[in-house]
């Protein structure tokens, strides 16, 4: 159904579809993360494990919701490619490549979340571990997910917005400020990822990037939904 709406002959409609995909990405991503984070108590593995064991189904659901958000990202990349490829096909292809890389990383990274549930499943082969060892393994996988997300931010979630923003800026389909917002969002997310991996004790460095990321992505999403694109007269 969605694929039928992504129409290269009708960029205005496809831009609105892109806006819907962007909204789905944001909403499902936030819901998945909020639910997931509500169970995690930093530096308290035992309490985190108790929370997860009491809410296994909800935790699984949060991870599935997160995967759905990644599907929205993939469809968003395709829709924007259709809209922006007349501006520069090579850059539009690069944008989609970054998106695909990010979806692949996050799909694999989500294994860390489901590994947590396997560790808490009570399977016989897990009896070789003490309770403290299992708790440590759970925190290891939860923290590994965070690291994987930072890698995705550096390899995809930031970089894809930079060519997208440039294409938006050059297209004439949007106000140039929307393209600038997208580019700034891309660099903001990239900075967040780099800070997390290189300077984890200096979160303040990432605050401006986080603000740019939120403002930029909401600006692009909102414009696509409300205004779509304006095709210049030939």
Residue 2 lies in a domain: no
Domain that holds residue 204: 10-121+129-226
In a domain, 47, yes or no: yes
| Residue 231, in any domain of the structure | no
In a domain, 166, yes or no: yes
CA-to-CA distance for 151 and 144, rounded, in angstroms?
11
Q: Give exposure, 155-178, as e/b (b: 16+ Cβ within 10 Å).
A: bbbbbbbbbbbbbbbebebbeeeb
Quick one: tokens of 103? Answer: 């979806």
The answer to whether residue 84 sits within a structural domain is yes
For 230, the token pair is 């304006």
Count of domains forming the chain: 1
The pLDDT tens digits for 118-144 are: 999 888 888 888 989 999 999 999 999
What average pLDDT score do residues 29-54 get? 93
Sign of CA dihedral 22, 221, 86, 177: negative
Q: Is the dihedral of CA 28, 71, 36, 26 positive or negative?
A: negative
- Does some domain include residue 233? no
Residue 233 has pLDDT above 60, yes or no: no
- For the cut 60, the answer to whether the pLDDT of residue 1 exceeds it is no
In a domain, 3, yes or no: no
Q: What is the mean pLDDT of residues 61-74?
A: 96
Q: What is the mean pLDDT of residues 46-51?
A: 94
Cβ atoms of residues 168 and 178 within 8 Å: yes
Residue 4 lies in a domain: no
């Amino acid at each position: 159904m969605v694929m039928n709406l992504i129409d290269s002959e009708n960029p205005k409609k496809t831009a609105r579809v892109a806006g819907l995909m962007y909204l789905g990405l944001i909403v499902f991503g936030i819901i998945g993360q909020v639910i997931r984070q509500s169970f995690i108590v930093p530096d308290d593995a035992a309490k985190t494990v108790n929370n997860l064991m009491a809410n296994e189904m909800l935790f699984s659901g949060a991870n599935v919701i997160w995967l759905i958000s990644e599907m929205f990202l993939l469809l968003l990349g395709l829709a924007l490619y259709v809209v922006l490829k007349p501006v520069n096909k090579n850059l539009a292809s690069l944008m989609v490549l970054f998106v695909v890389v990010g979806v692949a990383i996050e799909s694999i990274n989500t294994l860390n979340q489901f590994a947590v549930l396997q560790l808490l499943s009570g399977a016989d082969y897990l009896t070789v571990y003490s309770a403290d060892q299992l708790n440590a393994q759970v925190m290891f996988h939860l923290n590994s997910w965070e690291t994987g997300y930072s890698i995705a931010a550096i390899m995809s979630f930031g970089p894809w917005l930079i060519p997208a923003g440039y294409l938006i800026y050059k297209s004439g389909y949007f106000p140039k400020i929307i393209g600038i917002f997208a580019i700034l969002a891309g660099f903001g997310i990239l900075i967040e990822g780099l800070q997390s991996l290189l300077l984890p004790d200096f979160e303040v460095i990432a605050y401006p990037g986080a603000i740019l990321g939120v403002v930029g992505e909401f600006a692009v999403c909102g414009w696509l939904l409300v205004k779509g694109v304006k095709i210049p007269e030939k």
